[in-house]
Structure 1
Amino acid sequence: MDIVVITAVIASLFLVIGAAEPLAARLRLPYSVILAVLGVLIGVGAIFFLRTELTDALNPVAEAILGLPIRSNVFLYVFLPTLLFQATLGMNLRRMLDDWVPILVLAVVAVIVATLSVGYALSWASALPLVACLLIGSIVSTTDPSAVVSIFRSISAPRRLARIIEGESLLNDAAAIALFGLFMGFVMLGVPDPSLHDALAQFPLLIVGGAVTGWLAARIGVWVMALVARYELAQLSISVALPYLAFILAEQSVGASGVIAVVAAGLTLNITGPGRLPPQAWTSLRELWDLLAHWAGALIFIIAALLIPRLLGDVQLEDFALIAVVILAAVAARAAILFGLLPLLTALRLSPAVERPYRVAILWGGLRGAVTLALALAVTESFRVPVEVKRLVGILATGFTLFTLMVQGTTLRMVIGWLGLDRLSPIDQALSRQVVAVALQTVREDVARTTENYELTHEIIRSEAKRFGERLEDVVRAAEDSEEILDRDRITLGLIALAGAERDTIIARVRERTISTRLAEQVLSDADRLIEATRSGGRSGYRRAARESVGYGRLFRLAVLLHNRFGLSAPLARMMADRFELLLSQRLILRDLGNFIDGRIRRIHGRRVGDLLHELLARRVETVETALEGLRLQYPGYAEELERRFIRRTALRLEEREYTAMREDGLIGSELHLALMQDIALRRAEADERPHLDLTLQRAELVQQFPLFSDLDERALRRLGKALRTRYADAGEVIIRKDSPAKSVFFIASGAVELENAGQTWRLGRGEMFGQMALLMKKTRRAEARAIAPSTLLVLDETRFRRLLRRSPMVQEAVRETAARRGIDPEALFRNASDAI
């Protein structure tokens, strides 16, 4: 085929891509549906002009369109890695982890259920062997990422709904393609009734092998990109190679899932990239992949749609009944998961609740697209598949895809509207009226000043002022009519605005390099969680999310377990250093929000709401300061190093700002400015290196600062530092339960603990100990100990505590004081525990 004609056809396809987006906006239809329709029209038009006798002038173009080298491996090896990799780079991983259970259920369980449902339904309704029916089920069971993601982004769906859909569409390809490979092998071998156990037994290898391959490829890629940190184009080139090499290695060398490998590589780069790559390089990388994914997503739809006339060429009347069977079986399987399994998991407290409107939207949003057509094309290309099987696979997969795109895709916006998911909540509606009223009042004042400055005609001023005043009166009247909502929810509205201002401040600080890019995603994720929690739970939701942002999460507890049980301290040291930096960043951000309350929120919501928000903000600042002070007491030298690093980075930012201002004022030339910027980049790379946190050394220093251990010599302190174990307790966590056996004593390094026994409570702070009374009396615990703030505890077992008690008069005196406070005779206590002295 002439290369000139092929180039012209491909260039024309890019013109179609450029015209499709404004056309979709004008027709209010999803972009993916418009691309599919245009692709079908182009394919039908090419067939028409090639077969018609009206003219032969367009025959070369028609032959070029129909003769494009479109094979299934083009979709799987060229387009699919691009779409998956870009989607993982744009994911908010921490927010998606909140819904990991429904995502995995939809991505894996739903695919298996849909495959079985479609397979057995077709086996009952047709003469095809069961294995061929299961093959068709695996082909139509996967939702297409390019179809689903683009549609849900275009209709402004709720964030959580979009996250669940995106997570499902990214991961279910791996399950569907794995099942497809298994059943395709059975069909080519002529196995009519495969063992489902044999088919599913290979799943763990496919998933684990793909995940490990993608993780290793990404780690190597990030390491190489960090070596060439000064060369942005080199980093972008390496990122382009990464998903394709991961896909090929997993598929061809390991025998695992290439889709999982690409997703794992993208997730790994998403997590590690911001901390290892320069901010500008990371931004350029994201922009590059956004463009590549836009082109790939558009081309995959158009080219896949070109295949539809070919795949439907031999359709017969009775085939439409089988298409209906596939549609009903697939929809029924998806409905069973959404309305049966997910509510059951929620009732068992294994999954967060997914609201019913969300489940309806997810049901109707299960669109199929190019991936389904590519798998069907792979079957039709095989010489080892029976002809009738190939024909039905092409027709049923294509018919089902057309149904999801043309019926579900075109009506999805309407369904979202019918469910009310595209409308503002009552709180947002009240906020919009209040904000518009304040904004219009400000605009009216500014317009009055502007007209005075320009000395405009008085008649024009009066007429426009009248129109503007009428609109302002309408808005004010609507706001007054909703006064009941505003009175009840004004605090919530103010907190939402405050959380939004916090997010904007974070973005500004990241751009200024005040906040490390390593932690930027986590801080932004915490801000997003704060906004959503406030929307759903009001003031209590805001407080809960604020506490969680400074608390110890599950990964932190896992790192502590690895440190205590297996001696693996690297994860805990990294997380502790992250916690230090995170708290420093939060303190910086929160202190900037007071002006926002005074300057913006008071004007909209009044003085009372402003004062309440100041109070809530002050409590957050106090909580962060307490947690930060606890870490500073626990790791004093490290806190100083981090604060010095912050000062150095701030100074570099100010220095960079000064040089930029001098260049804009013409005081220095571009050559000198470039040299100065390169020097700052080198010094910033040094300042961005975070100091290493040695947990063992820091614990030894902490033990030396404990007042209770001040009378021990240096050798005894070293032995004690090795014997003590570190335990981290979040606010509200129970440390000691009533009636539990007494096996250890706890020393509070930072934080606060509350003891409760027989209606009496005691609060202990840094430097104090608890748990020793029951241990010395050889009784079960009678008091319950609960952390009332994020706390760091040093734990000593019974044997070592008794040795310490023998050697330390300070510890003996502390035990006596505690016994006297609780009405226990100290001397009697020591006589009963005479083996300890």
Structure 2
Amino acid sequence: MTVTAFIVVATSAVLALIALAVPAAKRVGVPLPVVVSVAGLTVGCLPLIFQIDTPTRFLDAYDAWIVEQIALDSQALLLLFLPPLLFEMALAVNVRRLMDDALIVLLMAVVAVVLATGLIGLSVWAFSSFSLVLCLLLGAAISTTDPSAVVSTFKEIGAPRRLLVILEGESLLNDAAAIALFTVLVALAGAEAAVSPGGVVLAFLYDVVMGAAAGIAAAWTVSRLYPLLGGSPVAETSMTVALAYGAYLLADVGLGASGVVAAVCAGLTTTVSGQVRMGPGNWRNVATVWSQIGFWANTLVLLIAAALAPALLITLHWSHALLLVAAFAGAFLARAAILFGLLPGFSLLGLAQPMTGGQKTLAWWGGVRGAVTLLLAFSLAEVTALPEADRTAVAGVACGFVFLTLLVNAASLSWLTRRLGLDRLSAGDLALREKVVAGTLEEIRQHVHELAAERAIDPQAAEDMRDVYEGQLRRTLEETQGVDIPFHKRLELGLTILCTQESQHFQDAFEAGAVGAAETRRLRTTAERIGDAARTGGRKGYQRAVDAAARVPRPLIAAALLQRAVGIDRPLRQQLGLRLTVLLETENALRDLERFVPNPLAQMIGEDAAANLGQLLAERRQMVRAQIRAIGEQYPVFTERLETLLLLRAAARRERAQYDQLHNAGVIGAELHGWLVRDLEARRRQLRRALPDLDPGLSPRALLDDVALLDPLDGDQKDRLVGYLTPRLVFPGDPPVRPDRPGRAGRQARSLCILASGVAERRDDHATVWLHPGDVVGTRALLGLADPVPAQVVAVSFCRVLLLTRRALRKLDRQEPEIAARLRAAARKQAFAKPAEAPDRGVGTPALVRSD
């Protein structure tokens, strides 16, 4: 047998073994990592028991030597399996939900790793003759809950979603932190000169920070390459594989930092930004491929590491059992200190969401170790700076600790979950399950009846089939009627369903090419935040989150500040367009949700709760429509063009769906379908490039002619006045200018605000005065007069204003005294003029009232 044939046979055998482990784990009723680790131990023990040398038995001497040379050591296993394993786990993490529990994750990851390393190291050091550095290396090796064991285990036992998110984040980050700390301690063990504690801390921080920076930078760079790949799913998937290994090598080899941290951060960054820059619909293909890669990496690394472990386990003596107990006690004591000690304190301070006692108990017992710890144990056995006997014994203790947690903790997690009641459906989920089953059975009964009529089945046989389904239907309906769910619970359940539907609507729109990447990211983030608020706070939480989403986004505020500071308006144009697109697509989603409420949502949560939610959606859509009008009144042409463009995109989306349906039904062939799709995609590309450009309309000269205060100035004077005015876009709810202090005789004003467009209101103790384009704020203060009642001016809609600041006024007095004099004269005339009767502006429209 040649070397190539031997490698192919060995690979096929290993893949067949891990494939058979999946049904075996389900049949035995234990998590998959337990079965894989037992299989690996068995494979590793066979050569020791029967004295079998597999390579030399099937190969000649030269080929056997080649196989021995390419045999995987600990470093090769880390490089081969860790990048794809961690990258795949990071792709599956909901980063936004992870950020909600970021403090808990950091506590259980970074802080717990450091604490566990210290406690384990000191515990083992107290009962052994090993050096403190070696004991700390043992602590770092076994302080990490291995992602290949923990996450897959908790997914299989159906742990609560929030607990699963926390454990996913913990497994990702503490694995990276433990390996970084282990690397620093290995360097410390081999250092000839004394190393200060500060140097150790700095080395650890360098590994983590530079590794994170390398991963984020690599993922950001690759995300800019996705649009260049022509929307090919296979090309984009291949690029993500290159990214996983490239980020690891960039940090590890190029920067001497933590490659594990780089791989994790690259995966998280791809989850946040990369997926929305891929071709529409390609993310699902990438996720599917990476799910398979993750399964291979997860099981293969554990199988191979477990097969190599017996060589270390046989070096242990019975006296080492005390060290194993000490390591186990130190590890789980550190985990308990975090979960039951630090975490409740942070929850009381409002810095972290609380966890129930059952969740904390399950998370504590779920500190399962696996392949990563085994690989670190093999690395520990290869640290030549330490005595060989000591490092081999400590590596054996680490291997024993791994299998103890797998065979005891992991194997009992399912039982503990049931004992704690964490596998039970909530009352809302139970009611939803029964109603869904009842509705499904009713549909099946009708379908059987129709099929029997169409196929002329014997009436008695049809009646027997109908009796079967009607019996099941009656039993299900009886169970449904026995579940009494309070109104507020049904309302919360409905809100959760609606928020999920909303988020899926945005994702489907993106995959169909109807919405861009930036809009999708903001829309889905908002929908998920509203959904989380609804799950925790019910209707009130939903409304609070909706109100928060209605506020002006921070990027838009930052763009407006940038325009004010340096006059750059391109970011402001982009953010205004993005804001309007988000609002229009939100309105479309709410319209679809309103149609979803009567059927089927009403069947799940009841007519009364559905009617309540329908009213809530209608109110929210009215609010969104008002926000759209607020922008549309300022930029009507842009708004109309953008609405038309989105309608054309929606039409193209429907057209593509129709072509696909005809092709799948066999009505049109592949050639015609391909021609139609290519023609459609060409038109869709034009639609994506046809996004209209928005002019913020902040040119001061164009706004001056509509201001009555400036009528005494001629055209040339207005042209010269432009250089002293500052244009500004003001958002609803914000003051266009800071409130002036009461003026004094001889004292100049702080600023003069001219409302060029939009609507604002002037609030004081007696009344609220509405301001319209052409109104001026600050004329009395401009003249050095005290305002009778200090007031505050707030924008009601988007407003464009012109500011004459205090400094600009002084400059105007010096350089253009004639313009300043005319401006003051006009201000004096307006300040002391009697208010004219307000013209009739229609019902519901505020009258034009002079501001001061």
TM-score category by the smaller chain?
Answer: 0.7 to 0.9
Aligned to 1:643: 643
State the AA in 2 paired with 1:649: R
Deviation at 1:815?
11
Aligned to 1:228: 229
CA distance in 1, matches of 2:449, 2:291: 44
State the AA in 2 paired with 1:799: R
CA distance in 2, matches of 1:43, 1:136: 23
Asked if structure 2 preserves the Cα contact closer than 8 Å seen for 1:111 and 1:175, the reply is yes
3-state SS, counterpart of residue 372 of structure 1: helix
3-state SS, counterpart of residue 286 of structure 1: helix
Q: Deviations over 1:72-123 (max 9, x none)?
A: 2223212111112222223322222222222222222221111122222222
Sequence identity, in percent? 31
Answering whether residue 80 of structure 2 is matched by residue 89 of structure 1, we say no
CA distance in 2, matches of 1:795, 1:104: 48
Deviation at 1:719?
4.7
Asked if structure 2 preserves the Cα contact closer than 8 Å seen for 1:656 and 1:680, the reply is yes
Aligned to 1:188: 190
Deviation at 1:250?
1.2
3-state SS, counterpart of residue 286 of structure 2: helix
CA distance in 2, matches of 1:422, 1:236: 35
CA distance in 2, matches of 1:318, 1:737: 79
Aligned to 2:512: 512
Aligned to 2:155: 153
Deviation at 1:321?
0.9
Answering whether residue 728 of structure 2 is matched by residue 724 of structure 1, we say yes
CA distance in 2, matches of 1:348, 1:123: 36
What pairs up with 1:491-640 in 2 under 5 angstroms?
A: 491-552=491-552, 575-640=575-640
State the AA in 2 paired with 1:222: S
Asked if structure 1 preserves the Cα contact closer than 8 Å seen for 2:552 and 2:731, the reply is no
Q: Deviations over 1:19-65 (max 9, x none)?
A: 11222222232222221121111111232232699x98999999999
Aligned to 2:139: 137
Q: Deviations over 1:309-350 (max 9, x none)?
A: 112121111211111111111111121122222222222333
Q: Deviations over 1:723-780 (max 9, x none)?
A: 53656769xx99989999997788899999898766x784868869998599777799
Go from structure 1 to structure 2 and tell me whether the alpha carbon gap of 1:26 and 1:665 turns closer, same or farther (over 3 Å shift).
closer
Q: Which runs of no fewer than 5 residues in structure 1 stay unpaired?
A: 831-837
Asked if structure 1 preserves the Cα contact closer than 8 Å seen for 2:704 and 2:710, the reply is no
Asked if structure 1 preserves the Cα contact closer than 8 Å seen for 2:25 and 2:31, the reply is yes
State the AA in 2 paired with 1:33: V
Answering whether residue 360 of structure 2 is matched by residue 353 of structure 1, we say no
CA distance in 1, matches of 2:825, 2:620: 39
Go from structure 1 to structure 2 and tell me whether the alpha carbon gap of 1:512 and 1:229 turns closer, same or farther (over 3 Å shift).
closer
Which moves more between the two structures, 572-581 or 261-270?
572-581
CA distance in 1, matches of 2:239, 2:250: 16
Go from structure 1 to structure 2 and tell me whether the alpha carbon gap of 1:814 and 1:417 turns closer, same or farther (over 3 Å shift).
farther
CA distance in 2, matches of 1:65, 1:780: 94
Answering whether residue 402 of structure 2 is matched by residue 401 of structure 1, we say yes
What pairs up with 1:159-198 in 2 under 5 angstroms?
A: 159-189=161-191, 195-198=196-199
Asked if structure 2 preserves the Cα contact closer than 8 Å seen for 1:274 and 1:518, the reply is no
Go from structure 1 to structure 2 and tell me whether the alpha carbon gap of 1:774 and 1:9 turns closer, same or farther (over 3 Å shift).
farther
Asked if structure 1 preserves the Cα contact closer than 8 Å seen for 2:707 and 2:773, the reply is yes
CA distance in 1, matches of 2:270, 2:257: 20
CA distance in 1, matches of 2:212, 2:609: 50
What pairs up with 1:479-490 in 2 under 5 angstroms?
A: 479-483=480-484, 485-490=485-490
Go from structure 1 to structure 2 and tell me whether the alpha carbon gap of 1:214 and 1:591 turns closer, same or farther (over 3 Å shift).
same
Aligned to 2:684: 684
TM-score when normalising by structure 2: 0.83
Q: Deviations over 1:482-515 (max 9, x none)?
A: 33x2445333333333334334433443343323
3-state SS, counterpart of residue 724 of structure 1: strand
Go from structure 1 to structure 2 and tell me whether the alpha carbon gap of 1:186 and 1:708 turns closer, same or farther (over 3 Å shift).
same
Aligned to 2:299: 298
Asked if structure 2 preserves the Cα contact closer than 8 Å seen for 1:494 and 1:613, the reply is yes
Asked if structure 2 preserves the Cα contact closer than 8 Å seen for 1:143 and 1:367, the reply is yes
Q: Deviations over 1:611-663 (max 9, x none)?
A: 32221111110121122223334554543443343234234334434554665
What pairs up with 1:631-780 in 2 under 5 angstroms?
A: 631-657=631-657, 659-660=659-660, 669-689=669-689, 691=691, 697-700=696-699, 704=703, 715=719, 719=723, 722-724=726-728, 726=730, 762=768
State the AA in 2 paired with 1:670: A
State the AA in 1 paired with 2:178: A
Q: Which runs of no fewer than 5 residues in structure 2 stay unpaired?
A: 744-748, 813-819, 839-848
Go from structure 1 to structure 2 and tell me whether the alpha carbon gap of 1:363 and 1:785 turns closer, same or farther (over 3 Å shift).
farther
Deviation at 1:518?
4.2
Aligned to 1:833: none
What pairs up with 1:198-347 in 2 under 5 angstroms?
A: 198-229=199-230, 232-347=233-348
Aligned to 1:799: 806
CA distance in 2, matches of 1:395, 1:774: 85
Query: What RMSD in Å do the two structures reach over aligned CA positions?
Result: 4.5
Answering whether residue 104 of structure 2 is matched by residue 105 of structure 1, we say no
Asked if structure 2 preserves the Cα contact closer than 8 Å seen for 1:523 and 1:582, the reply is yes
Which moves more between the two structures, 294-303 or 378-387?
378-387
Go from structure 1 to structure 2 and tell me whether the alpha carbon gap of 1:624 and 1:765 turns closer, same or farther (over 3 Å shift).
farther
Go from structure 1 to structure 2 and tell me whether the alpha carbon gap of 1:49 and 1:369 turns closer, same or farther (over 3 Å shift).
same
CA distance in 2, matches of 1:399, 1:274: 41
CA distance in 2, matches of 1:84, 1:738: 57
Q: Deviations over 1:404-428 (max 9, x none)?
A: 2222211222222233222111222
CA distance in 2, matches of 1:649, 1:341: 52
CA distance in 1, matches of 2:610, 2:828: 49
State the AA in 2 paired with 1:46: P
Go from structure 1 to structure 2 and tell me whether the alpha carbon gap of 1:664 and 1:738 turns closer, same or farther (over 3 Å shift).
same
Which moves more between the two structures, 377-386 or 666-675?
666-675
Count of aligned residue pairs for this structure pair: 817
CA distance in 1, matches of 2:244, 2:162: 27
Deviation at 1:365?
2.2
Which moves more between the two structures, 296-305 or 406-415?
406-415
Which moves more between the two structures, 532-541 or 126-135?
532-541
State the AA in 2 paired with 1:382: V
Go from structure 1 to structure 2 and tell me whether the alpha carbon gap of 1:432 and 1:239 turns closer, same or farther (over 3 Å shift).
closer
3-state SS, counterpart of residue 224 of structure 2: helix
Asked if structure 2 preserves the Cα contact closer than 8 Å seen for 1:699 and 1:721, the reply is no
Asked if structure 2 preserves the Cα contact closer than 8 Å seen for 1:81 and 1:259, the reply is yes
Deviation at 1:287?
2.7
State the AA in 2 paired with 1:509: A
CA distance in 1, matches of 2:394, 2:775: 71
Go from structure 1 to structure 2 and tell me whether the alpha carbon gap of 1:810 and 1:687 turns closer, same or farther (over 3 Å shift).
farther
Go from structure 1 to structure 2 and tell me whether the alpha carbon gap of 1:283 and 1:610 turns closer, same or farther (over 3 Å shift).
closer
Which moves more between the two structures, 129-138 or 807-816?
807-816
Q: Deviations over 1:207-264 (max 9, x none)?
A: 3322332233223323334333255544433332222122112112212221222223
Answering whether residue 79 of structure 2 is matched by residue 72 of structure 1, we say no
State the AA in 1 paired with 2:358: P
State the AA in 2 paired with 1:533: A
Asked if structure 1 preserves the Cα contact closer than 8 Å seen for 2:742 and 2:781, the reply is no
Go from structure 1 to structure 2 and tell me whether the alpha carbon gap of 1:247 and 1:466 turns closer, same or farther (over 3 Å shift).
closer
